[in-house]
Amino acid sequence: MHYRDAAQVIIGEATRLNEEGVLSDLDRDVFERNLKLACEILADAEKRNASQERDSQTERDVSNPSNGVSRP
């Protein structure tokens, strides 16, 4: 399960607990905001990782003359 899917499940559980009166509105809202922030941090990290992987592949391609890519 991807972290975004897991976050939706967790938010759903927090909503259920809120509706049952076990979790206050404030606590539920703070919890949801923090969870969304955590997801944004993970998404940013995924983007940086993908960018680094592309940069590494480009460097390998440029360093390997047998692949048809010429070094500038």
Q: What is the pLDDT of residue 68?
A: 60
pLDDT beyond 60 at 27: yes
Residue 20 lies in a domain: yes
* Coil, helix or strand at residue 41: helix
Give the pLDDT score at 72: 55
Within a domain: 68: no
Average pLDDT estimate for 34-57: 91
Domain holding 12, by residue range, is 3-52
Percent of the chain clearing pLDDT 70 (strictly above): 89
Sign of CA dihedral 29, 33, 34, 39: positive
Query: Has residue 63 been placed in a domain?
Result: no
Whether residue 61 is contained in a domain is answered as no
On the question of pLDDT at 59 being above 80, the answer is no
Q: Is residue 23 part of a domain?
A: yes
Apex CA 23: angle with CA 21 and CA 28, to 5°?
125
- Provide the domain count of the chain: 1
Say whether pLDDT at 15 is over 80: yes
> Residue 40 falls within a domain, yes or no?
yes
